[in-house]
Amino acid sequence: MFEKKLIVSLRHASIQQRGYPVLKNVNLDIREGEMVYLIGKTGSGKTSLLKTLYGEIPLMDGVGMVAGISLHKLKRKQIPELRKRLGIIFQDFRLLLDRSVYDNLDFVLKATGWKNKTDRKKRIEEVLEKTGMTHVMHKAAHALSGGEQQKIAIARALLNDPKLILADEPTGNLDPDTRLEIMELFKEINKWKNTIVMATHDYSTLLKYPGTTYMCQDGKFFEVETETT
């Protein structure tokens, strides 16, 4: 049987938070097309693990690979290339609120090396269509609802056709109905064979949208079983 490509691999890794280890001896393999959840209390290391995967925090001990790039050998000049292979989604959206949706997405494409204006326009239209947000293309980001802003943040994460999407509490600031909309969108994205790693406090999400689930607790990192509805 054909084995899916390994997108993330950590071996005996220590994850730090403010210079101190918060998770020890982390072993993790994530393959292409998986849906993975990180759960645990605030301060347990979920966000620090995600930050390590996208190069914001150096790997303290052990070895790691993300999207073909070694974390334990990661140099500062390699971080832009690592992030170009990833899509990163935050709880607080992090849009440029004084710019239009189009300009937010165009800004990212320019910053990641897309020089041709026609190619950029085509790609922006593609990701907005995928996320059902074509109708807000020329609206100012500040005029959007929280759910709309998060959908644009997801569209932004898809721009460079990432090997891996990292989402840190992406539904944390949203009402229950909007959370469901966002999770349905993630479910669709996962069907397109995108690998997703999501940190979440919302345990109802795990039940309705099952995936592989890991617990961060008391410095330990381990897989847990979740019942599905």
pLDDT band, residue 203 (cuts 50/70/90): confident
Whether residue 228 is predicted with pLDDT greater than 60 in this model: the reply is: no
pLDDT the model gives residue 201: 85
Output the DSSP codes for 52-68: HHTTSS---EEEEEETT
> What percent of the chain is modeled with pLDDT above 90?
83
pLDDT the model gives residue 223: 96
pTM: 0.93
pLDDT the model gives residue 2: 59
Q: What strands, in cross-sheet order, belong to the sheet with 35-39?
A: 86-89, 164-168, 195-199, 35-39, 212-217, 220-224
Arithmetic mean of pLDDT, 54-70: 95
pLDDT per residue as tens digits for the range 85-134: 999 999 888 999 999 999 999 999 999 999 999 999 999 999 999 999 99
Whether residue 1 is predicted with pLDDT greater than 70 in this model: the reply is: no
Arithmetic mean of pLDDT, 141-164: 95
> What percent of the chain is modeled with pLDDT above 70?
98
pLDDT band, residue 227 (cuts 50/70/90): low
Tell me the H-state helices in the chain. 46-53, 79-84, 101-111, 117-130, 146-158, 176-191, 203-208
pLDDT band, residue 202 (cuts 50/70/90): confident
